[in-house]
Structure 1
Amino acid sequence: MGCGSSTGSDGKICMKKTKLPAVDEFFDDVQGLCDEVYSIQDPIEEAEQKLLWDADFKDTDGANVKHAVVGIVFNVAAKGNLDNIDRFVKITDKAPFIALDASSAASDVKNCIDAANNYINSVISAKDKIEPLCDKAKDFAEKAPELPGKAKDELGKAAGLGTMDKIRAVRNCTGNVRAIAKLPTVVTGLKDCVMESISNIQGAVKEINAKKAKLNDIGKKCSSKGLATPMACYQECGDPIAKTGKKPGAKGGKKPKK
């Protein structure tokens, strides 16, 4: 803990120390919640970026993980590795809803399959963790406005703090309280993101089921046209992708880490 500012350079909420023990105890609890939120959010974002990059959807307007997962299945079919669809694609009514078997896939598609499974597992594992975090964030936001008054009382008893330390304590407390007010929105945003992701995963399942009987034909069509990536296969044989004006490429335009 003890980060440099109430909102870091990466936009994350990060509590700043006041050197007032009773106040910092509260802020430390808030930071613990923030750390927990970002420990869920960051792996999902990283897994999503890697999946979209590996499946070559990074520059496709409106693309999301639904298109990537279905495109991977089409791509496997195009490479002639789909003799047994039920062995390759495991679909269930309950979470995780779908899992892809990479054991017989070509090496260039295996990376995509691993990325898809990693993303799906990251999202599903997050689902049940979020609701308690929403309650905690709301509780912290409701209590935070009391902190400036508490800090004022603490300053009156803080004989060991110099003038600059006291000024810094007030400033840091104020900044922290402002940041905490944003915390419920951050956690709710994560919840919405996870629910949307689950919807996209279920959308992939729906499209795969709808085209299951035609997958061999889809594979032959993609192969005959020399379509080498999940994105190319999906654009040829998948449902239309609704344009949003946004491309899902990796943040900062950099390729995600392996």
Structure 2
Amino acid sequence: MTMRPRGARAAGAVAVVCAAAVTGCTTTIPGAAHTLRTQPPLMSSTAAPPAGDSPSGGFITPTSLGTKLLKRDAVAATVGDAGLKPIQTYDKPDFSSVMQPQQCDYRAFPARSTAYMSSLLEGMAGEANSDDATGVLAAQVVSSWATVDHPKMVLSTITGEWRLCPDGQAFTSFSNGDTTPWISGPITTASEDRAVSLMTRQKGAAKTCAHVVATHLNTVIEALVCGPGDTVAQASVIADGLVANLRA
């Protein structure tokens, strides 16, 4: 796999995540098979964030977000895969599409919600790591917002976008000329500040992707784990670790 420098935001780097997360492909797609979007798809334009939040008082500053991420060895221990390597960093949202129907992208990738187009977004930090040999992927993203109430609005928007690809919806991922069938699973609201999405690969060895979104003070946390294990539990542990770091 062609490695990219940490912090790179080229479309090829995005393609690596797509390949690792949803197809298990082990090569970078030169030039990317899909187009990196800077605006969300039109079908999701209804997810504009509402106004009227109260000031946060600067609980978590955007410049501190990178220091709150979990170390790679801690993530590797959580997912039981010592072979994780960095493949992408996040400092802004993207709307690259590799799914058909397209709205199922929201289930499969972090930093993908239309909520991130809000002017209230102050900063974002995150990274994705994967193991080409096992197909395991783990991603973590933390964003900070200008108001303390807005993260709950973001959580609501994200879960609404997940429901555009409802439980039982069949969809297909496209990467490097390969197609992989998936089916969306349940969306669980674990608490008022956390939700979980699950999707399952329908071809090849057993593989699920769990996507956890949580809020803490003026931040939104996303954790995504794809692999053969209990990905819901693993993604939840990563989200818990991020919350603990934000509290420190």
Q: Which has the higher strand share?
A: 2
Regarding TM over 0.5, the answer is: no
Normalised to the residue count of structure 2, the TM-score between the two structures is: 0.23
| TM-score normalised to structure 1 length | 0.22
Larger proportion of helix: 1
